[in-house]
Every structure is written in C-alpha cells, then in structure tokens.
Structure 1
Amino acid sequence: MKNIYFMPGMAANCDIFENIKLDDSKYNLHFIDWFEPEKDESLQKYSERIALQITLENPILIGVSFGGIIVQEIAKIISVEKVIIISSVKDPSEFPVRIHWAKKWKLYRFFPTSYITLIENVTKKIVSSKKIHQRIDMYHKYLSIRSVNYLDWAFKSVISWENKNPVENVYHLHGTKDHIFPHKRIKNAEFLENGTHVMVLVNAKWINKKLLEILEK
C-alpha cells in the first residue's frame, strides 16, 4: 500500500478533496491540516512543523494552490516518492505579474484579511442573487481557516516565496481558466481546458483520471 498525503489550498480545509476517489486497495489517503503560524515564522520553518504530520516513510504528496507550494517545501525536508501539485506553481517565475509587483512593493501588508468575513456577511444580506449566496456558502464550507494571523502569514508567504533548491520532477495539473495562476505563465504541466482554480472540486473526474496515470508511472 502506498501512502498519499493531501495538502489543501490557502484557507481551505480537507473537504476540498471529498470528490477524490482512488483505489483503496492500493492507496491509503491521509489529509494534512493547516495550523496557526508562529510570529514571523518562515515558510521553511512552518513546513518543517507541517511535515511532522507525515508519519509514514516515502509518501506521495499532493497539494492544491498554496498547498502545492507547501508540499514542495516538505519534499526538501523528507524523502518522498512523488510530488503532485494542482492549480499551483513550481517556481516564482510562474506567478502572474501582479504577484511580482506585490512582492516588490510589499503590498501584502495592505491586504484587508480582517475584513473578509465581514464583507461576505454584508454581501449576503444586501445582494439577492442566489448564485452569489451559493458561492459564499461554498466559501464558508471549504475555506474555513480564517484567522487574521494565518491569512496575513499565508499571503506574505506566497508572495515572498523564492523556491531555493527546487524539487525536481514535480507533476503539475492546471486549468486553462485559472484566474489565480494564469496558465500562460505555467510550464511543463498537463492542462484541463476551461479548468479553473477550483477544478479539484468541480472537475474531480478528470483529476482522478490524471492522478491515477501519474501514480502508476
């Protein structure tokens, strides 16, 4: 049996993997939870603490979005069989221009993380659109890690990521309609036409198929 550890995206809980189905006679699935970062904690130190949740040897790591960055950092700390990232980046060169500007000018300091929940609640009260309500309800279900300390740290960590000594042979699944990490800057990935940043949820059939192909290599 091979052990697979899943790391969700920024602010997300492991429910985002609820549609991932793999042969349970071949694979044991494990799910990594976010926890609160310490004051001024580096991404490397945080990844070392996260890695303590991985108790089995030579696992396969799968990460979504910011979780994809985290699993790459973990793979520099422990021995792993494979690293698979979904809707993520392998290197800062794959970031959109706006993130490079945010890093240069340290704009993460001004992101209103403390207002996210307030904005959602007010929007839900004043906007009657059923689609908007459903989207906000989805955010509440899957994006439940909402402390200001965590969000401030996460935004800064993504924007400041340098990926020194990058991991080799990272498998990458990405959507052509990803609005967070536009596909035009992504290299050496397998693309889902019209896939978005949340394709792990809404395109699970394709994800499951591609994961199986990668896992059996």
Structure 2
Amino acid sequence: MEKSICYILSGLGADERVFDQIDFGDFTPVFIPWEPVKPNQSLESYVKQLSLHVKVPSPILIGISFGGIVAQEMSFLFENCSVLIISSVKSRLELPAMMRVSGKIGFHKLMPIQLLLKGNWINYWLFGTTTKTEKNKLTGILEDSDPIFTKWAIHQITNWKRNKKTKSPILHIHGDNDRIFKISNASPDFIIKGGSHLMTVSKPKELSIVIQDGLNKLADKQAYSDFTNY
C-alpha cells in the first residue's frame, strides 16, 4: 500500500539533514527546499512561492522552528490542511519578548549574521547540542546556510503578525529545554522532556514516536485531546 505524504519545512536555512534520524512511520516525507528570496520579498509572497511544491489538495505540513511559522502561513492556501509544528510557535504572542521588541525597533538588523552561521559555543548552547556528532551536524548546517536568506528570515520571525492560531488543525511538539523558543511562552500539545531546539537530532527516537502518533491523528482528523502521551 502506498504511503501517505507529509511535506516538511526545515528550520531557518536548514535542510533535510535535521530529520536524518526521524522515522515518519506510514508517511513519506517530501522536503520543501528553501529557495532564494527576492529583495524586499514579503512572507506571504514567499509562502505562495514554496506552496507550488505541494502537489496534493489536502496536505499535512510539518515545520520545525521557522519552518513551523511558514507551514502555518501556508495552511491558509489550502482548503483542508493539517499542520504539525516542532520547536516553533503558534502566534506572535509565543515569541520571546526580546524578539517582539526587536521586531519593533529593528535591533535584529544589527546582528552579525556571519557569526550566527558558525559553529561556536553560543550556538551550541542555544540549540542544545552537546555531543560531538550533534555539534558537527549543527556546524555543517549553519555554515551551509545562505546569509541573505537567514537575515531575511530573522526579520520575518521578529515581525510575524499572527496573533491567533490558523483555522487548520495544529499539533505542537516542544522540548522543555528549548532556549530559542522557551516553553514558558508556549502551549504545546506534547512536551519532550530534555528536548532542545534541535531535538530532531538529539532526541530522534522519542520524537519519532510522537511525530508518528501526531501524523496519524492529523490524517484521521481526530481531536487534539486524543494526542497520546508517552
């Protein structure tokens, strides 16, 4: 029997490497690549551009971090869409206060993008990578990221205007040790104990079980209350 498809949006500038160890069970992951942004391109325009990769009328979208924001915005382009977000936020209100303030005063524009795209102790701490393997993977992803896209994406995150959830069913998985989007600001459906912002790499077994359960629930359009706890 042919597997169902789920469309994946990776984190800020990242690619499918962050999902290398994730088992999607009965679902076939199709990774939507980040494409170069045009000068002054809006988030709405960019989301429409990426949506052309979706080839089914009622997709299930998975997004991690910034990919979760994009997945939610993309869900408005389809009549019957479901969303699973990981290490992300469901509205501007769940963004850290510093990010919201930065969006208003433009502080993020002063951030040294090249420094953000390096493997260093600050990024290792922020993303929660502790082992040599995790650090090497994060370093490779960061160094392969496009600084122009990264700067644009940070601007989109800090200026995200959505203040309420989408009309689409959303399941939210979050780690209680996420240092970028702190769990104290969020209201996830499931919490991964010890999960960091990059828990697809550091907690792949635990996360795979929860993702599979979440995908099955979304495919069946079951209520959030049925989301199994482990």
Under TM normalisation by the shorter chain, which class is it? Answer: 0.7 to 0.9
Number of aligned residue pairs: 206
**Aligned equivalents of 2:131, 2:150: Cα separation in 1:** 23
Deviation at 1:58, TM superposition (A): 1.2
Change (3 A) 1:182 1:45: same
Q: How does 1:33-182 map to 2 (within 5 A)?
A: 33-116=33-116, 120=119, 137-163=136-162, 166-168=165-167, 169-182=169-182
Q: Percent identity at matched positions?
A: 25
Deviations 1:46-102 (A, max 9, x none): 000011111223111000000000000110112344200000000011111111221
Alpha-carbon shift at residue 213 of structure 1 (Å)? 1.5
Give the match for residue 211 of structure 1: 211
Partner of 2:55: helix, strand, or coil?
coil
CA distance in 2, matches of 1:79, 1:208: 28
- Aligned to 2:9, which of 7, 16, 36? 7
**Contact 1:61 1:80 (C-alpha < 8 Å) held by counterparts:** no
Q: CA RMSD in A?
A: 2.3
Distance of aligned partners of 1:184 and 1:88 in 2 relative to their CA distance in 1, 3 Å threshold = same
Q: Give, in angstroms, the shift of residue 165 of structure 1.
A: 6.5
Q: Distance in 1 between matches of 2:115 and 2:186?
A: 31
Instruction: Give how far 1:187 is off.
Output: 1.4
Is the alpha carbon distance of 1:133 and 1:212 closer, same or farther for their aligned partners in structure 2, counting shifts above 3 Å? closer
Cα distance between partner residues in 1 of 2:207 and 2:108: 31
| TM-score normalised according to structure 2 size | 0.81
TM-score (norm 1): 0.86
